[in-house]
């Protein structure tokens, strides 16, 4: 079982729709990232959060530490939002004290005009 689960895996929506992508993780974490990856591979960090809610433009990220769950919302979605959205967390140890991220498999979002 993957330690970080995302849903849905694929999402196609019409321009203007409100989008929600969910992320659940199995153990306590220190922080969670939402990342965006466009075709071609480059990853951009959208949010890093450890509690509560953050907003940037049309993007909103929330996290519930007790429920081990985070959501990424996109309001007034646009075709340029089409990308893979990845949830990543810092999990307690793989051993040795490193803090590399553990990633979900990503949600492939397509916004149609």
For binding to another protein (CB under 8 A), which residues are involved?
A: 4, 30-31, 33, 35, 40-45, 48, 50, 86, 88, 90, 94-106
Cβ 109 to another protein shortest distance, Å: 15
Nearer to another protein, 106 or 111 (CB): 106
Cβ 52 to another protein shortest distance, Å: 15
Nearer to another protein, 20 or 102 (CB): 102
Nearer to another protein, 42 or 57 (CB): 42
C-alpha to C-alpha distance for 11 and 18, rounded to whole angstroms: 12
Q: How far is CA 13 from CA 45, 56, 77, 85, 102, in A?
A: 23, 21, 8, 15, 28
Cβ 29 to another protein shortest distance, Å: 10
Give the closest residue to 22 by CA, choosing from 6, 36, 11. Answer: 6
């Amino acid at each position: 079982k993957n330690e970080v689960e995302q849903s849905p895996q694929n999402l196609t929506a019409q321009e203007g729709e409100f989008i929600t992508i969910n992320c659940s993780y199995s153990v306590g974490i220190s922080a969670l990232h939402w990342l965006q990856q466009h075709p071609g591979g480059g990853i951009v960090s959208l949010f890093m959060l450890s509690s509560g809610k953050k907003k940037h433009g049309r993007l909103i990220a929330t996290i519930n530490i007790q429920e081990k769950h985070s959501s990424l919302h996109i309001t007034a979605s646009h075709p340029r939002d089409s990308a893979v959205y990845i949830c990543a967390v810092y999990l307690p140890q793989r051993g040795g004290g490193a803090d590399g991220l553990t990633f979900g498999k990503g949600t492939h979002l397509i916004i149609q005009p």
